[in-house]
Amino acid sequence: MTKSLNAIAQKLMTPGMGILAADESEGTIGKRFDKIGLPNVLELRRDYREMLFGASEAMTKYISGVILTEETLKQEAASGTPFRAILADADVIPGIKVDRGAFPMPGEGNEKITEGLDGLRQRLTHYAELGAGFAKWRAVITINDIAPTRNNIRANAHALARYAMLCQEAGIVPIVEPEVVGDGEPGNHSLERCAQVTGDVLENVFKELRLAGVDLAGMLLKPNMILPGINSRERPSVEEVARRTVEVLKEHVPAAVPGIAFLSGGQTDEEATAHLSAMNRIGGKPWPMTFSYGRALQNVALRTWAGRRENFPAARQAFAHRAHMNSLAATGEWSNDLDRAA
């Protein structure tokens, strides 16, 4: 089991490839559709995912895995071909978001706790039968004047560890995502405050993973980058963000972990790419680093598609461009000039 889990993790971390996060909840995808004037209906959600998954250049060259929702894992394209078959044809590993969302935690810090452990063992068995090779669980850590509390960090870390152990029991690679959010309220914290909280969170997460008996060689980490809050006046350079992120991760993430796949966390498309590339130009890291982006891969493609199947070719070209740029960033070879010239 350990060998097979590690083999899946290694394939997800194939050099120059990354993970497409297409696991938006029905509510989240509805908000994105609303911005371009589209109703949130099943047919359009299917068409949008079909546009992405059928982008052969992007999927075969730059994407190693796709995180799906339960709806999409079981869904078919308009032609009747299951999305799982389309991904298999591109040699892309299907994954599944298994948490049920982050809910308010009792207390005064506006903190959240992720739920979804009830019945998870049975759901994972079902997902494995459907062909899911990996899963994802997101914990949300808020920064404000009184948060995060020790209780919130520990509760989320413990839930992540229980989830990861259940995944490995089912033969599924867990992606562990403890996100220190930068766009919460008030969102004015400094880069160094983010570094301190992220380090504390990671220390607790790996303590709980060890206590639960999770095989670190059979998992991946999906962390936030070290950034100031979205409402902070601080404007660190790309190089400073990269340096502090790598420093924090080297201090708290064991070398046994096969790889790190970053979330974009509300950054612009270009910021997420630039920061990843800068980190990959820093030597001496014990694990490879790549992307596990949602919005930062999909934004332009979504607007180009605009709900019309006749826009599939142009939207797929936009998606392939963004995926290519992040593929270059995953090997430290991206540049602004390349991005603009393509």
Which residues are identified as catalytic?
177, 222
Strand partners, 176: 137, 221
Separation between Cα atoms, residue 225 and residue 243, nearest integer Å:
10
Count of C-beta atoms within a 10 Å radius of residue 318: 22
Tracing tokens 């959240």 back to the chain, one arrives at 112
Read off the amino acid at residue 218. G
Tokens matching residue 130: 């459907």
Beta-strand relationship, 102-104 and 112-114: antiparallel
Tokens matching residue 20: 């497409």
Length of the chain counted residue by residue: 342
Burial class from Cβ neighbours inside 10 Å (0-12, 13-18, 19+) for residue 255 reads exposed
Separation between Cα atoms, residue 299 and residue 266, nearest integer Å:
11
Tracing tokens 């998870």 back to the chain, one arrives at 120
The Cα angle at residue 42 between residues 36 and 43, in degrees rounded to 5: 80
| Contact status, residue 328 vs residue 318, Cβ threshold 8 Å | no
Helix (H) or strand (E) holding 327: helix 312-329
